[in-house]
Structure 1
Amino acid sequence: MFVRIVKLSFHEENIPAFLENFESIKDRIRSAPGNKLLELYQDKNNKSIFFTYSYWETEADLENYRNSAFFDEVWTFTKKLFNDKPEAWSVDKLASLV
């Protein structure tokens, strides 16, 4: 299993549109084959910065999602709201203490 972390930074006036859209699509993202977890975080100090954390069974599962028509639709909408270039990391999960 590995984790995909994406940092998204929005113009302040676009935050409501982003959150409304995320609310409407989050279940579809979560139900993508191989997706095991989807979380959204907002920075405590800069309310314009968000992070998504998604857990995937395999890199192929993430790539299949990223190459889907659904992802293209989501990304086309979301990228218009940015105030900075998004950043993304794919990391291997080594330990988890719950």
Structure 2
Amino acid sequence: MFIRIVKMGFNPENIDAFLENFEANKAKIRNFEGCQFLELYRDKNNTNQFFTYSYWEDEEALENYRNSNLFKGLWANTKLYFNQKPEAWSVNKIAEAQNKKPAL
């Protein structure tokens, strides 16, 4: 498993259209074979900056998604709204810290 992080910057007048498109398609992305997790984040200070955070079974699963008609259609629509070049990272989780509550 690995994690894909994508940073996207949008023209302010296009943010609502992007969010509507993401909302309409997030279940399709999340249910694509090999996708294990999907979230969308928005920067608190620079509110035209968004990040997708997704877990993929393996690199082949992500590549299958990136070569799918679903991705090609979504990306063609999404990139119309950009005000900067998107950035993407594929990362491996190294450690996780979980808060454990003391037993009662």
Q: TM-score range by the shorter chain?
A: over 0.9
Q: Which runs of 5+ in 2 are unaligned?
A: 99-104
The Cα RMSD (Å) is 0.7
Partner of 2:88, secondary structure, is: strand
TM-score if structure 2 supplies the norm length?
A: 0.92
Written as runs of structure 1 = structure 2, the 5 A alignment for 1:70-89 is: 70-89=70-89
Q: Which runs of 5+ in 1 are unaligned?
A: none
Q: Which amino acid aligns with 2:66?
A: R
The equivalent of 2:96 in structure 1 is 96
The equivalent of 2:20 in structure 1 is 20
Q: Which amino acid aligns with 1:50?
A: F
The equivalent of 1:68 in structure 2 is 68
Structure 1 stretches of at least 4 aligned residues deviating more than 6 Å after TM superposition: none
Q: Give the superposition deviation at 1:95.
A: 1.9
Q: Give the superposition deviation at 1:97.
A: 2.6
Output one character per residue of 1:5-63: Cα deviation in whole Å (capped at 9) or x when no partner. Answer: 00000000000000000000000000011111000000011000000000001000000
Q: Distance in 1 between matches of 2:17 and 2:94?
A: 35
Partner of 1:75, secondary structure, is: helix
Report the count of equivalent residues.
98
TM-score if structure 1 supplies the norm length?
A: 0.97
The equivalent of 1:40 in structure 2 is 40
Greater Cα radius of gyration, structure 1 or 2: 2
